[in-house]
A and B are shown apart, each in its own frame.
Chain A
Amino acid sequence: GAGVSQSPSNKVTEKGKDVELRCDPISGHTALYWYRQSLGQGLEFLIYFQGNSAPDKSGLPSDRFSAERTGGSVSTLTIQRTQQEDSAVYLCASSFASGPSTDTQYFGPGTRLTVL
């Protein structure tokens, strides 16, 4: 079946511009996660959705970052007024239920964001 998809695969933007990154989870998965992978770093948790609500936004690095999920499916991560330090690969994952103790997180291929 189809896996987690993300678009665009690559995004180059100028400092100060806003960007939107999209994630399509696996159909039927209620939990959705965003992570950020910076060069030479591990994955950094950003936000977690259960259905359309986000119980945990603690990983969002600043108020320039926001995310929403509609219809319990597609999620959009928005970065406003991008900065060079925002350059990273943004990974989305989904799972059937919340928590890896109950189900595996399946990851998408990521969106590589470059801020010039």
Chain B
Amino acid sequence: AQSVTQPDIHITVSEGASLELRCNYSYGATPYLFWYVQSPGQGLQLLLKYFSGDTLVQGIKGFEAEFKRSQSSFNLRKPSVHWSDAAEYFCAVGARGGDYKLSFGAGTTVTVRA
């Protein structure tokens, strides 16, 4: 079965600074990988997803993520954060051929200071 680890529970970043959120997965083959964001009182919104092809994936809101097979990682980055990026971020993995069942990490809470 697949699993996801998000090593950072909480990250604080200054507005305008860069942001990187770490995600490591465990899966025997090439997985489907996702990043979701959850703002307070809101449902999860898909930021980006990786299925195959180019390992650098562009998403909404200026986010990007890079799939590194050798490191089993799918880290999320943003060059310059805005106060509205304060939220909880979840990495998820789906298995090929049974991929309706997403496995999520525990999440990383991002605080943006002025």
Contact = CB atoms under 8 A, between A and B. Distances in A.
Interface stretch (B14-22, B44-52, B74-82): B44-52
B101 A91 contact: no
Contact of A41 (B96, B99, B106): B106
B41 A101 contact: no
Interface in A4-45: 4, 31, 33, 35, 40-45
A101 B43 contact: no
Interface in B31-53: 32, 34, 36, 41-46, 49, 51
Contact of B43 (A4, A41, A48): A4
Q: Is the interface of A mostly helix, strand, loop or mixed?
A: loop
A71 interface: no
A60 to B, nearest CB: 13
Interface residues on A, range: 20 to 34
Interface centre among A41, A100, A104, A107 (most CB of B within 10 A): A100
A33 B32 CA distance: 17
Contacts of B101: 45, 48, 56, 59
A43 B102 contact: yes
Contacts of B34: 100
Contacts of B72: none
Interface centre among A44, A48, A99, A110 (most CB of B within 10 A): A99
B104 A100 contact: no
Interface of A: 3-4, 31, 33, 35, 40-45, 48, 56, 59, 91, 93, 98-101, 104-110
Interface of B: 4, 6, 32, 34, 36, 41-46, 49, 51, 90, 92, 94, 96, 99-107
The 6 tightest CB contacts between A and B, nearest first, are A42-B104, A107-B43, A107-B44, A43-B104, A42-B106, A99-B99
